[in-house]
Structure 1
Amino acid sequence: MFTLLLFLAIPLGAQYSLGEHPRLFVTRDMLPELAERARGGGMLGGDYAMIKAEADRVVAEKTFRMINSVWHRPTDMLCASLAYLVERELGNPQAGLYAEAVKEIWGDGSQLSRSDLNSSGSGHFGSYAIAYDWIYDSMTAAERKKFGDQLGGWLLWYTDAAEITLRFGGWLFNQTWGPSHLNTPNCRDGITPKLFVALALAGAGTAYESDCRRFLDSWYNRIPLDCLSLFNRMGGVWAESMGHGGYGPVKVIPWAFEGWRTATGQDWFQLGSPTMYLKEMNRWIVHLRVPFNNITAYIDDNSGGWDMEQVAPILAARYSDPVACKLSEEYDRGSWPEKWFSTPWIRFITHDPGVRARTPGEMGWARARLFTGAGHVYMRSAWDDPDATWAFFGAGPAYALHSRDDEGHFLIAKKGWLVLRAGGQGHNDDDYYIGGSLAYNIVTVFDPLELFDRQTPSPERLAQGGTKNERDGGMIRRVYAGGHQDIKERGQITAYKHTPQYTYSAADLTQAYNSSKISEITRQFLYLRGEREFFVIFDRVEATRSDYPKHWFLHIPGEPRIAGTPTELVAGHVYSSEAPEYVTWLSDPAGTGDYVLSSGRARAFLKTVLPRSTVTTKRGGEGHDFWGHPDEPTAQYNHVGRSSNQTPVVPWRLEVRAPTGSQRDYFLHVLEIGDESDTAMSAVATLEEDTLLAGVRITTASGGQVEVQFGRHGAPSGRVRFGGAGSFEPLQTEIDTTGQLGLRGDLDRDGRLSILDAVSMLVRGVRDRAAPELDFNGDGLYSPADVTGLLDYIMERRSFTALAGAPEAVSLGLSPGQTGRAP
């Protein structure tokens, strides 16, 4: 339906017109404002001081730094080109020197050409296009043609056609859009840099005029009708994770949409569903950041980094997003000029001073969110607190060939990492071990005859530091399997609910495994907040044969201690114990100690409740930190690759082995998070077992109690009870996202709406009408109507749709899905 409506709204053909130069990121109408920013102080004035310093160096030295580097954009060239526009607007009679320096370095234009790819220039055609647009007015007609005729050839790069072809790539493949350095490495279709070339050269009188129009028509017709439907389905989590995503599409897709907006006036950021990729992307980035160090979590192949200043100001401006604005303002310029390529020219141009920066906590964001497209669930104990607990649980389709097979995997952090994946930053191309599912916190079912892909890289790859990945009992290996356009179902979130007391998710992982060995596998993941915090993980595993061994894996950065006296198998590295009382370990930054913001360390306790007769093995330390599956004879060695020593450093894992002899087994684990000084786990008792339910009763030292039971058969189900009395609350059996938008109007953050909130709103509204948290009715600005609306809600309690999904709906007398005047 959405595609049909979009088709009607944007007919085929050239239904767009281009503005005058400059038109990429900057327009003529913006120049007076940019001049004011440059002459002013504060953040933006400081940004321009850096930009001008780089531009002055270009004028003085007549060189671009590291122009032959394929991994860095020639930011100094962009700074000189931007300074030309700003200084001209400021009335500087020497402004033309900046443009002249750029043209002098370009020389005869061959630097801009494809023919000079490996000589000088390294194919920075996206950046050349931006600079061409910005100094357009300084060029004569002959110069425009000279430089443009060299630059225009890039429209045929890789595809041999000036249009979007998706050649050896799909819409959700990073190389289709191009890398963030806007040049040739890992660039196939290269949609973003080619779009910049077409927008810069169109109408400039070059030999590539028809190619420019052809590419722009292709963009205009294909993005809304072909691409956005996938962006709607995928949602805010880039399909290849922040690893390959951060390398390109997380940055260059917003850049492309912004370049099109400024050149044509068409704001395509507003197209698509409410969870379209661009609209939900900032939510993902923020939820992905781990409280103790603000680094993005090591999910899939993510390396933990993120250059937020390169896209946050655009998202903040286009969506009036206070949290994106906050991230943009947090960018630290202290590393300049050593990191000259990070000069914040994008923030200087696109920052919207009308959007007031706010933290997620100040905006009342809910403490959990399900990203439905990716099947990612993020949860935490609090916002704006480096000591907060954070966790991830995920199960969803594979949209891209780089996606690793990690369905049902989870991570936990508090004052460091408590649960992580195997360490290092190996690449899918050669590190088959880290690209396989054994590196994640999953259940394996070992069939000694199962056939796996991706067991041995080529001899060349192995010689360069690649690793093998023998039979590991894990999931079907879908990395690089199939075509770029294929969406491979492998697991799905079947239930989700977030409340102030807990966040609950259930996933069916059956499709992730080979049907020859698995007939059912599900995982339920329950995070309990409170005086003490607990994670309860319940796995139902039914194999096709009773003699297939089943293991439950957990990767941890700190060395665990098994309660009691475990049996030493390999001194200092491998120990086992039959049904230990618990296992405990401390949090650890996993190699990121220089970035830690939290204080102290947390302690985790893990108890295996089911199966009753298990063998728990701890394995790790140097030489044993990338070990093969314990049941595969050919894998009994350490699988170390050339990138295994990089962060994260995760040298230990736990292996919980179920007793053999049963086709169907249940793993029930309770993981408690406590203080570093804690010496014992809270009491965990098995509830009376029957054929229908499996459950536990958890009692803290202070007498707090919670009981959890899970269904043994059928669709994943369960129930929870707090305090040991009264009836059980059923756990959600379907996806309910009404609780993840936060409680609008809860100004005192006590988890409920009251007269005190209305009074606070009235008082604060006198001082700051623009404060977004005061906008109760959602009309974009505070007014007395927000106060009366809040009072109306408090009195009627049935008038609003759970405040657009407030987690406190039940306590306020609302039922999920109740309709009314939702703000």
Structure 2
Amino acid sequence: MKFTLTAAAALAVLTLGAAPSFEEFAGRVRPDHPRMFLTRETLPAFRERANTLCRPLLDDMKKRTDALPAEPGLEFKADVAEMKGGKLVFKKLLNDQNAAIYAVKTSGGTEALECAILYLATGDRAYFEKSKRYLKLLVEFVEWSDRCRILPEWFNNTRLSGLVAYDWLYNELTPEERRGFLGPMLKHVEHMQNPGYMRNGGGPETGNYGEPGLQLYAGLAAYGDGIDDARAEKLLRNGYRLNTAMMNLRDEISGGSGLLTSICSGYSFGQYPWASYNFLHVLESAAGIDGTEHWTQMRDYGNWFSWAAIPSRAAKDGFLDFGWGDAFHGTNAMPCYLMYTHLAQAIHFYGGSEPERAKQARAVMEMIPPHIRKILALRTYPYLPFILTGFDPEVKNAEPPEQVLAGDIAAYFPTFGLMIVRSGATENDTYASIKAGARHTQHQHYDENSFIIYRRGFQALDTGERGSAAHHRVYYPQTVAHNSILIRMENEPLPPYWYPANAPAIPGKVFNDGGQSRMAANRPLGFEKSPYHAVTGGDATGCYAPEKCSEAVRQFVYVAPDYFVIYDRVTSVKPDQKKSFLLHTQNEPEELSPG
């Protein structure tokens, strides 16, 4: 049976104008500074906001900055790393991969920007001088990491902060000070695009917070200033094209739903939004281009969160996670401490033109626990609270959030073949999701036609845990860890999956325990819904090895408020290839009545 995607159920996709070409963008880049996140025209509003609404944040920043050493240097964390024979050697592992920033007390970039913020907000010249000293430290850090031939940092945050600080202080730096900072930084950013050793090379299809994503901001910091114009233009061109490609792909994946690149919540509701928001900010500040006229992914972002999160007062941040993809399953708590900040940005950009989406975003914000119901003064992006002039925290919805969000029983996200259903929007309601036809593989598992059901606890859940152990590779992403179908075949190779760089080698030979071996090969069967039911399904035959699977079709029906029908039609190539229906439960099942 094939269902249809009715017009009423289909996600709205708006046809917007094409993004400006690089030549048009570059021709509109303002010749003066600052031009990243701040301009001379917006500086008065920045100062007022910093000294009124954001005064507590500014005071905290002042305390932190006043405690910094006046003459900073590159200081090692003696218990973490040391230099031996000109090489950086780690004494212990701090993450999935080694990076130079783990070995030092600070790289200087974040401190330089916080000092610059304080200087522009207060006019105190001491912060200007301190910011310059920390910019010198950042140069020392990147040159040292390049000499050591080691990844400077997995995210590009501290170097981005340094580039922004330079841009904000540009008018009062001497020509020698400008060349002393920007010359080495441009060479470093260019070098890290292809260094010949490990780097974070993620681009448009990922979070875009690694080395490629830094090019735009390095190019903007230097464009047309006569310091290294050829290199600056090259970086700006590459960075602009990368970011427009990212925005186009994210709009395609979102399709009017707000789903951002991956259905894995730790990424979708963590680091991934920053690249979109930062690009929208600098398009406006650097070139006067309104990116909201070209891309809508962040306009709809609150809609995606409202469907992907399960309300729970017991969870630390107020919501539980379905657990799709590379999620942490220890507690299934939704990692949403950034969501108030992310949604505030959505309202800043789109609230005026899209009042219904803003209303939806505010409903989610009102459900966020008070301890994270605020714009965070993040060390990674310290400028943010001071520039969100389009967001007013005092504006509230007239209706309670549960009423705003509870209007529909199902949503469908076609780029991942993902259906989510719910009986309401409170923690006592029923929630379920099935993935049947993903076309993108970012942080995804071999879990096509798998489902998750929640009703006052997980009745069917994703299992496994990520980390630096064989379990991460051998079980966690494999079909056996999900509520799907196994078709066993002797000595079937285990399909590949990423494994942390610092993880130990897996001893011995491992095999596929009956699971799928291909991603993005499920054929979705469509989606239908009414006020009383929702149905979808997928033909996952192509996800299994052809030597063992002739057919693997699942249909999944939700009958509101609490009933589910799961129908499978599975045929193995050989009769002795055993088939198994997987159902992972939160607690051991108990027989409630005889028979």
Q: TM-score range by the shorter chain?
A: 0.7 to 0.9
Query: Hey, what's the Cα distance between the residues in 1 that align with 2:74 and 2:62?
Result: 14
What is the total number of aligned residue pairs between the two structures?
520
Task: Determine whether 1:231 maps to 2:265.
Answer: no
Task: Determine whether 1:301 maps to 2:326.
Answer: yes
Equivalent residues in 2 for 1:61-140 (5 A)? Answer: 68-69=101-102, 75-88=110-123, 94=124, 96-107=125-136, 110-111=139-140, 113-117=142-146, 122=152, 124-140=158-174
Query: Hey, what's the Cα distance between the residues in 2 that align with 1:507 and 1:395?
Result: 5
Query: Hey, what's the Cα distance between the residues in 1 that align with 2:212 and 2:407?
Result: 34
Query: Hey, what's the Cα distance between the residues in 2 that align with 1:136 and 1:324?
Result: 37
Amino acid at match of 2:513: D
Amino acid at match of 2:252: R
Secondary structure, counterpart of 2:178 in structure 1:
helix
The residue aligned with 2:447 is 406
Decide which of 21, 27, 40 is 2:39's aligned counterpart: 27
Equivalent residues in 2 for 1:592-671 (5 A)? Answer: none
Task: Determine whether 1:282 maps to 2:290.
Answer: no
Task: Determine whether 1:368 maps to 2:388.
Answer: no
The residue aligned with 1:51 is 61
Secondary structure, counterpart of 2:415 in structure 1:
coil
Secondary structure, counterpart of 1:113 in structure 2:
helix
Secondary structure, counterpart of 1:153 in structure 2:
helix
Query: Hey, what's the Cα distance between the residues in 1 that align with 2:381 and 2:204?
Result: 29
- Cα distance, 1:70 vs structure 2: 7.6
Preserved CA contact (<8 Å) 2:217 2:236: no
- Cα distance, 1:541 vs structure 2: 1.5
Compared with structure 1, are the counterparts of its residues 417 and 504 closer, same or farther at alpha carbon in structure 2 (3 Å cutoff)? Answer: same
Amino acid at match of 1:171: P
Task: Determine whether 1:40 maps to 2:73.
Answer: no
Preserved CA contact (<8 Å) 1:393 1:409: yes
- Cα distance, 1:344 vs structure 2: 6.4
Decide which of 278, 282, 297 is 1:255's aligned counterpart: 278
User: Over residues 661-716 of structure 1, what are the superposed CA-to-partner deviations in whole Å (9 max), with x where a residue is unaligned?
Assistant: xxxxxxxxxxxxxxxxxxxxxxxxxxxxxxxxxxxxxxxxxxxxxxxxxxxxxxxx
- Cα distance, 1:253 vs structure 2: 3.2
Preserved CA contact (<8 Å) 1:510 1:520: yes
Preserved CA contact (<8 Å) 1:126 1:192: no
Preserved CA contact (<8 Å) 2:446 2:517: yes
| Runs of 5+ unmatched residues, structure 1 | 89-93, 179-186, 479-488, 565-579, 582-823
Query: Hey, what's the Cα distance between the residues in 1 that align with 2:533 and 2:232?
Result: 54
Preserved CA contact (<8 Å) 1:55 1:79: yes
Bigger Rg, structure 1 or 2:
1
Preserved CA contact (<8 Å) 2:491 2:511: no
Compared with structure 1, are the counterparts of its residues 295 and 79 closer, same or farther at alpha carbon in structure 2 (3 Å cutoff)? Answer: farther
User: Over residues 317-367 of structure 1, what are the superposed CA-to-partner deviations in whole Å (9 max), with x where a residue is unaligned?
Assistant: 11213444566685866799x997378642342252358454474366534
Query: Hey, what's the Cα distance between the residues in 2 that align with 1:353 and 1:462?
Result: 43
Query: Hey, what's the Cα distance between the residues in 2 that align with 1:315 and 1:142?
Result: 40
Decide which of 578, 582, 586 is 1:549's aligned counterpart: 578
Structure number with higher helix proportion: 2
User: Over residues 17-54 of structure 1, what are the superposed CA-to-partner deviations in whole Å (9 max), with x where a residue is unaligned?
Assistant: 2233222222222222233323335xx44333333433
Amino acid at match of 2:554: R
Query: Hey, what's the Cα distance between the residues in 1 that align with 2:279 and 2:508?
Result: 37
- Cα distance, 1:370 vs structure 2: 1.0
- Structure possessing the higher relative contact order (Cα contacts under 8 Å, 6 or more residues apart): 2
The residue aligned with 1:18 is 29
Preserved CA contact (<8 Å) 1:493 1:506: yes
Query: Hey, what's the Cα distance between the residues in 2 that align with 1:491 and 1:21?
Result: 51
Compared with structure 1, are the counterparts of its residues 279 and 519 closer, same or farther at alpha carbon in structure 2 (3 Å cutoff)? Answer: farther
User: Over residues 98-151 of structure 1, what are the superposed CA-to-partner deviations in whole Å (9 max), with x where a residue is unaligned?
Assistant: 221121233476325344458899453222112212222332222112111121
Preserved CA contact (<8 Å) 1:328 1:347: no
The residue aligned with 2:486 is 444
Preserved CA contact (<8 Å) 2:213 2:242: no
Secondary structure, counterpart of 1:555 in structure 2:
coil
Secondary structure, counterpart of 1:495 in structure 2:
strand
Amino acid at match of 1:129: L
Amino acid at match of 1:518: C
Amino acid at match of 2:326: D
- Cα distance, 1:391 vs structure 2: 1.7
Task: Determine whether 1:195 maps to 2:234.
Answer: no
Preserved CA contact (<8 Å) 2:418 2:438: no
Compared with structure 1, are the counterparts of its residues 421 and 48 closer, same or farther at alpha carbon in structure 2 (3 Å cutoff)? Answer: same
Query: Hey, what's the Cα distance between the residues in 2 that align with 1:499 and 1:401?
Result: 31
The residue aligned with 1:392 is 433
Compared with structure 1, are the counterparts of its residues 341 and 310 closer, same or farther at alpha carbon in structure 2 (3 Å cutoff)? Answer: same
Query: Hey, what's the Cα distance between the residues in 2 that align with 1:227 and 1:68?
Result: 27
Preserved CA contact (<8 Å) 1:155 1:212: no
- Cα distance, 1:420 vs structure 2: 1.3
Root-mean-square deviation (Å): 4.1
Amino acid at match of 2:335: G
Compared with structure 1, are the counterparts of its residues 379 and 85 closer, same or farther at alpha carbon in structure 2 (3 Å cutoff)? Answer: farther
Decide which of 169, 175, 184 is 1:141's aligned counterpart: 175
Query: Hey, what's the Cα distance between the residues in 1 that align with 2:365 and 2:540?
Result: 38
